[in-house]
Amino acid sequence: MADHASTPTLVERLAAFSAGVRFDAMPREDVDAIARLVLDTLGCALGAVGCAPVRMLAPTMRAAAHGPDSATLIGSGERVALADAVLHNGALVRYLDFMDVYWARDICHPSENIPAALAAAEAAHASGRALIEAIAVAYEAQIRLADAFSFESIQLHHVSAAGFVVPLVLAKLWRLGPSETAHAVALGGFRHLTSAALVQGQLSMAKAVGYALPASECVASTRLAAAGFTGPLAVLDKLGVEGFDTSPGTASARRASLKRFPAQYTLQSPIEAAIDLHRRLTDRLPRIASITIEVHGDVCRRTADPAKLAPDSRESADHSLPCCVAMALADGKLTAAQFDADRWRDADVKALMAKTRCKPSAELEAAFHDRPARLTVRLHDGDECTVLVESPQGGTTRPLTDTQVREKFMTQAQPLLGAARAERVADQVMALDKLDDVAELCALLAPPHAKADPR
């Protein structure tokens, strides 16, 4: 750590904060919020099993070197090297774009830390309480970083946070001291600054591993720090991060929003409005002459740029405002199955996209903070129909209920696991603090007939 006469760096302050997070001091509502987030995240991963990016990753998975290096691949039950499990499972969580989100000075999906925490906890045979502590540290670090600093402002992508946050998770589970933890964060953070090109223009498969790949590499850097390897402790200070809050507390998990639809969070309100319009218009859909979508200016910039007007990949389609609205308006829903079937390539969806105009609205921006949307459909006979969604369901002002979170999980998990096994997973997650060994939960994250690899 820094000399006692000097001011601690932000990395050192983060390490000290992490050391102070203890399950016994956590309010019950914080523990319950983390359980909900774990359930939602596992549902996102199970719903993505079999996706193309993860199929491509599968042949690269390595055998575990020893017992503490072994973790389970979600969906198959195979045990592989810890770093590879972090990569594989993290890509599953990210693929559907269905995970949680937080938005302040920067954007983040703090649930992307959960597959790393789960795999590391399994490898260490840690308890559910230890896992909850590690996830609490992750949410505090990433959400408070998003409050204080924007990677986007320096032409980087927000997944750059992975190198700073994941080592905190691993160090917490491995019970490293504050000095080793600080150097783990410095070693992970200095080399994982990611270009904003990750989500500019037509999107690539790299979106699925934007967080998971650096997270997996943090396994090595954290092990190096545990052995005494040092890193540049001033790395966050040199980036210009100021005003970072390191006061005690674990309430940040309650500040994250969940999604109803597998698409970017800024598209949740427009999609909700489009589904409402589908119900109102029913057989009048073929008579649509124009569609006007009013949203915040930054939503237009991010999701209605030229590349998003004609998406050529699944990754671009679920980040395209005109595309997601057209699919929802045409079908009265937006699901992963529609993306899997390339619904966005169909002629009727493309025709609706061609009739769509995206308009930044200063009025909405001034009146509503949480990503509102107003959709106006004009028919050929001159009739108009308008729907305003002030904030999306799943956001902090309209949170999903426990029942809705469980239903979302079951919808994604049941096709792979079967109803009984999926219910058992949900029950274990919602009582995570009672679990003596996280490995018991991980063993359930594959179909009953799957055979775990003896490695």
Task: Check which CATH number belongs to the domain holding 347 and give it.
Answer: 3.30.1330.120
pLDDT at 454: 36
Domain match, 144 and 177 both? yes
Band of pLDDT at residue 453, cut at 50, 70 and 90: very low
pLDDT reading at 130 higher than 80: yes
Domain that holds residue 14: 10-258+403-442
- Residues 390-405, mean pLDDT to the nearest whole number: 95
Domain match, 42 and 150 both? yes
Domain match, 201 and 294 both? no
Of the three residues 389, 416, 434, the one that is the final residue of a domain is 389
* 136 and 248 Cβ atoms separated by less than 8 Å: no
Map residue 146 onto helix, strand or coil. Answer: helix
348: DSSP letter: H
pLDDT reading at 297 higher than 70: yes
Number of domains in the chain: 2
Token couple for 161: 């946070």
Rg (CA), the chain: 22
- Residues 425-439, mean pLDDT to the nearest whole number: 98
Domain match, 108 and 22 both? yes
Domain match, 285 and 242 both? no
Band of pLDDT at residue 54, cut at 50, 70 and 90: very high
Q: How far apart are CA 182 and CA 199, in angstroms?
A: 30
| Within a domain: 430 | yes
| Within a domain: 449 | no
Domain match, 313 and 225 both? no
pLDDT at 370: 84
| Within a domain: 454 | no
Domain match, 184 and 289 both? no
- Residues 370-394, mean pLDDT to the nearest whole number: 96
As beta bridge partners, residue 257 has 101
Of the three residues 389, 414, 432, the one that is the final residue of a domain is 389
pLDDT reading at 124 higher than 90: yes
pLDDT at 318: 93
> Residue 23: which CATH number?
1.10.4100.10
Core vs surface per residue 31-67: b (16+ CB within 10 A) or e: bbbbbbbbbbbbbbbbbbbebebbeebeeebeebeee
- Residues 399-419, mean pLDDT to the nearest whole number: 97
- Give the whole-number percent of the chain exceeding pLDDT 70: 98
Is 444 or 369 the better-scoring residue by pLDDT? 444
| Within a domain: 4 | no
Instruction: Give residue-wise pLDDT tens across range 15-33.
Output: 999 999 999 999 999 999 9
pLDDT at 119: 98
Instruction: Give residue-wise pLDDT tens across range 313-368.
Output: 999 999 999 999 999 999 999 999 999 999 999 999 999 999 999 999 999 999 88
| Within a domain: 176 | yes
Domain match, 411 and 309 both? no
Band of pLDDT at residue 413, cut at 50, 70 and 90: very high
pLDDT reading at 6 higher than 90: no
- Residues 256-281, mean pLDDT to the nearest whole number: 96
| Within a domain: 395 | no
Backbone angles phi, psi at 336, to 5 degrees: -60, -35
pLDDT at 278: 97
pLDDT at 455: 33
Band of pLDDT at residue 451, cut at 50, 70 and 90: low
Domain match, 195 and 334 both? no
pLDDT at 282: 85
Domain match, 249 and 203 both? yes
pLDDT reading at 3 higher than 60: no
pLDDT reading at 227 higher than 60: yes
- Residues 159-177, mean pLDDT to the nearest whole number: 98
Q: How far apart are CA 9 and CA 422, in angstroms?
A: 44
| Within a domain: 451 | no
- Residues 205-209, mean pLDDT to the nearest whole number: 94
Domain match, 249 and 349 both? no
Map residue 107 onto helix, strand or coil. Answer: strand
Mean pLDDT over each residue of the chain, to the nearest integer = 95
| Within a domain: 357 | yes
Domain match, 222 and 272 both? no
- Residues 364-385, mean pLDDT to the nearest whole number: 93
